[in-house]
A and B are shown apart, each in its own frame.
Chain A
Amino acid sequence: MSTTNTELCSKESSMMAPTESPIVHLASRGISPVILLVGMYVFFHGHYSPGGGFQGGVLLAAAILLLRLSLGTSLSQPVMPSWITLRLSALGALIFAGIGLLSILLGGNFLDYHYLPMPWLEPAYLRYYGILLVEVGVTITVMTTLVAIYDDLLGC
């Protein structure tokens, strides 16, 4: 089973390549950067408008999954390789839990932003950047986990 799956991933995958329409190729390649941009917008506006880490991460994952679906798995590897997804997911969870545990180590509660080691910032800005860093972790984890689920369904 693993051999057939690796053939499916390594070759120009047989169910995608020869019959795929150029309209779909062009449209997905043109739309995917727009979706990435909207995802970054939603992510960076999570503090004071609807949005945030999870929604931004889902949009970024949607852009990558659009390329995976339309171009096939092998052609969309340069955007996000399959081997990096679970590692980046672990990195995002590490950022989230690391900030929380760092504020425990410095004397506060879990995710207590006022105890973060950035004394040159005022408390309001400390809270702002603390939430932003946590949202970075959430975004990376959500995006890469969704892509990893798709890759795992194909067996890559």
Chain B
Amino acid sequence: MSLLQDALAIILVLGGTFFMLVGSIGINRLPDFFTRAHASGKVDTLGILMFLSGLAVFEGFTLTSAKLLLIIAFVAFTSPVAAHALARRALIYGMKPWYGKRKDEG
């Protein structure tokens, strides 16, 4: 049981770090604001969720894991809303999305 618990926790934490890494690379590499908001809003949310649920699995049935589950619910609710608010406000104030020009065309 404990071995299975540790294995599941390690898998979840490694998956979470992988998605966080992908999100960070996306924030650095993607071309404009909206795609970067996409990267930070979705991939980082999934990474944080997997990371925290891995920690909760590692902790077992305690009060700490209950608090971690509350944090998971909070992050899953707020992070997409924050990304939505940023992207919507940028679009309303006239920021142009990126339409796929190549670099040599300008």
Q: Are B88 and A21 in contact (CB under 8 A)?
A: yes
Q: Are A23 and B92 in contact (CB under 8 A)?
A: no
Q: Are B92 and A31 in contact (CB under 8 A)?
A: no
Q: Which residues of B contact A34 (CB under 8 A)?
A: 74
Q: Are B74 and A27 in contact (CB under 8 A)?
A: no
Q: Are B81 and A19 in contact (CB under 8 A)?
A: no
Q: Which residues of A contact B81 (CB under 8 A)?
A: 23-24, 27-28
Number of A-B residue pairs, CB cutoff 8 Å, is 21
Interface residues of B, count at CB 8 A: 8
Given contacts A21-B84, A21-B85, contact A27 B92 (CB under 8 A): no
- On chain A, which size bracket covers the interface? 10 to 19
Q: Which residues of B contact A28 (CB under 8 A)?
A: 81
Nearest A residue to B78 via CB reads A31
Interface residues of A in 20-41 (CB under 8 A from B): 21, 23-24, 27-28, 30-31, 34
Separation of A31 and B75 alpha carbons in the complex (Å): 11
A/B interface sample: 15 pairs, CB < 8 A: A21-B84, A23-B81, A23-B84, A23-B85, A24-B81, A24-B84, A24-B85, A27-B77, A27-B78, A27-B81, A28-B81, A30-B77, A31-B77, A31-B78, A34-B74
